Amino acid sequence: MILAHEFIRSSVARDSDFTTCQLERQRTPDGRQHALVAQFASSDPTEFARAAELIAPWVDGVDLNCGCPQSWAIKEGIGCSLMQRPEVVAEMVKSARARLGPSKTVSVKIRISKDLSETQRWVRVVEAAGVNFITIHGRTKSQRSSTPPDYEAIRSLIAGAKVPILANGDANHPSVLAEIIKKTCAAGTMSARGILENPTVFASLAVTPVESVQKFMKYAVKHPIPFPLLLHHLSEMSAGVKGMNKKEKSRLMACRDLFDAIDFVEEKWGLGDFHDQTKS
């Protein structure tokens, strides 16, 4: 989630919050092209539209996060606080679509309300503004991640929706992904925490393979990202690889730079064809 205000204001924020490369939008073996969507947090139509316009050359769409439950986000009037302001979100969607044109998507991510009729009204208002699709997380803003997502609530919201709905909540295992689709009839699923730990979850691999870590290091060398971000992703992925213990996790988090991280991965798992591919 990128703060639209900071993204507009500061080139430093743009360079640290968003990095990409051509590989992220390459075509799959069957000819389909990967789509890249950037997610922003904002509460102002002009601000959201301007951020969308700035990032447009490098993405296929933008998403507005109306589902972040953290207290600081709600205090700032973003995230879940926007579940009380559907008309404002509708204006943001309209403004972004006007700037981007029909070739890019504008979507939103939400959580459910205790009273589902409120969520149904919210969806109708934002649909009328021209949103392309909506992702629904099956928890309320006050529910912790230990609370099971309410997939039945998502299913009922999908039944009355006019745009594609993606389902979110505990999408962290291939079998769970299939179960979510079965229970909700959603057009697709979205994974957040799950895919950070296992980037291959949508490839139906239940456990993060060592090759994922090796490939990530290769990409990080060829297409650099800020080191704190690299360390965060590496920490999440390595937690899903079999054989990682607490002592090794501490050693990983003590890495000071990219070279330290490469040394750790090489010592722990080896680097595969890392050296050959980074030279190509």
What are the catalytic residues? 68
- Spatial separation of the C-alpha atoms in residues 225 and 228, rounded to whole Å: 9
Encoded tokens for 49: 């539209």
Give the Å distances, CA to CA, from 162 to 65, 67, 94, 177, 222: 20, 20, 17, 23, 42
